[in-house]
Chain A
């Protein structure tokens, strides 16, 4: 009888341990790496005017940077919270200051640009991927984008986030099809970043 009880206790311990291990594995799989940085000391409410700099384009599409920048700029303005300066005015400031690489400006250049444009902050970005990806027979459009919000007065990064949307999912792998069009995917990615900025 005693032996039976000891065996039962041992079994329940093993069961508990295995359950705990299983739970850890499952929860570990759900963990995501954070793709958002937010300076806790920054008062984001004070940012009212921003200058969106040309985005760096690492994709095959030569116009991807300009397309995404335009969609982002319009979407940012449409929130009603932030005024995005016209791209022509930003280009004029870049030219007058003499920034050689407008997609990756230095701290000094950012301070100069924001002063020239009377902007509270400057937004820079990188389009890492834009276009279709293939996996076997399936093809789908994908976008990968990361942005940085840099304070105009000091030139320090106060917010940074990245997002990836589209691509080949289970449905595309199982049933084929091309996924959503690139423009829809772009819109989704931009809205995701804007919600991260305002959250």
Chain B
């Protein structure tokens, strides 16, 4: 008898002995517990949340624009666009036919796909019946291992002045969540791409199925247009130029702790900020986000950052966010160039032509992606928010963070893409603006 056969015989004998010792009811109880645990791990099928492909007769008719490349590197844009459209169609969304959209592009000479202006949006609505446009920007694409992707999508209304109704982004590196023994590392760029599209599709679907409910406010534009114009009102607004003095003239910088509320303050808050605390919260105001001044070495860094800010403001829901393409078009028409920031004349021109109450402008100093050498993502920008009538700064802040700023223990909390970092910074910024900008 070989050594292996001997071992096998002994094992069988041991099993029979154990079977005799352990009673049958105990085995049954164990089996029951295992069944319960396994059932608890089961998740609801994703399909339950989706559009119903059988009846795609509801929801807005969406025109899926070709993807704009802001990554500064070559990327498979056509494949991404096809996959995005297919993903939405599979989920049951109503989509404008690709050929119809191409014909529309040819007819109207549409070349800029990173935004939509008012005239094009209205023409699209009239000619194709599209209720909304889905504009997607590719922020980062790297198909070499570990793959990385960052996509940003927004849904823009075509009726009247285009506004951003929904916006979301997805940024991930293949090695973000390595899991146990690196089993969860994604090495296939196509798989990562699929995950990104799946996430964005689910988010859009959730928005359409369950639109967020915000408190209804009176439109500031309506109030302004219905109010009779008097010179004395205008003069009173422009005269109130005394800045508020804060107690002790202390510089507003981020403390290591949060004075109220959450125990630890956000690591991604601006390093210093100014708030006039004069913005009334009783009316629904619209914002125009002007193109940021780009002083970074990253191609399209300013455009990407403006999109991240727009996303957080859309999610916040306190303001109406004007479509970025509309602002771009208006600035081109008015021949506005801003070599070193926005001037009062620019604010007047933009606010009057677009009918917005607030104007946001900014400067991007750094927008660095992580690389294989161990460089951490780094984002550095400043932002100013102006009020239309007084043309004064309501909010001014400077934000700067590294991808490692959130690390508390080993590499936990590290952010691997500049997109995710910018997103967190903008989120903290908008939260801080809300806390500080409400009239008291």
Give A contacts to B, CB under 8 Å.
48-49, 54, 63, 66-67, 70-71, 73-75, 77-84, 86-89, 91-92, 183, 187, 191, 194, 198
- Are A183's CB and B380's CB within 8 A? yes
Q: Which of B397-428 contact A (CB under 8 A)?
A: 397-398, 400
- The reply to whether A183 and B396 contact each other, CB–CB distance below 8 Å, is no
Contacts A70-B382, A80-B243 given; 7 further ones with Cβ under 8 A? A48-B243, A70-B398, A75-B251, A81-B249, A91-B339, A91-B340, A194-B251
Q: Please report the C-alpha to C-alpha distance between residue A48 and residue B273 in the assembled complex, in whole angstroms.
A: 18
In this complex, which of B273, B343, B400 has the most chain A Cβ atoms within 10 angstroms of its Cβ?
B343
**In the bound complex, how far is the Cα of B344 from the Cα of A67, in angstroms?**
22
CA distance A79 to B341 in the complex (A): 22
A91 with B343, Cβ < 8 A, contacts A70-B382, A86-B384, A183-B380 known:
yes
Q: Are A89 and B344 in contact (CB under 8 A)?
A: yes
Interface assignment of B252: CB less than 8 Å from any CB of chain A: yes
Provide the residues of chain A in CB contact with B346, threshold 8 Å.
88
Q: Smallest distance from the beta carbon of B117 to chain A beta carbons, Å?
A: 24
B396 and A78: CB pair below 8 A?
yes
Chain A residues near B382: list those with CB within 8 A: 70, 74
Query: Does A74 contact B338, Cβ atoms closer than 8 Å?
Result: no
In the complex, residue of chain A having the shortest beta-carbon distance to the beta carbon of B382: A70
Interface residues of B (CB under 8 A from A): 241-246, 249-253, 271-274, 295, 338-346, 361, 363, 365, 380, 382, 384, 386, 392-393, 396-398, 400
Name the one of A49, A87, A194 contacting B340, with C-beta atoms under 8 angstroms: A87
Which residues does chain A contribute within 8 Å of B398, judged by CB atoms?
70-71, 74-75
Q: Which residues of A contact B386 (CB under 8 A)?
A: 86
Distance A48 CA – B251 CA, assembled complex (angstroms): 16
Which residue from B243, B340, B397, B400 sits with its C-beta under 8 Å from A88?
B340
Rounded to whole Å, the gap between the CB of B347 and the closest CB of chain A is 9
What are the 9 closest A-B residue pairs judged by CB atoms, nearest first?
Answer: A88-B341, A80-B246, A77-B274, A92-B343, A78-B252, A87-B341, A91-B340, A83-B243, A88-B342
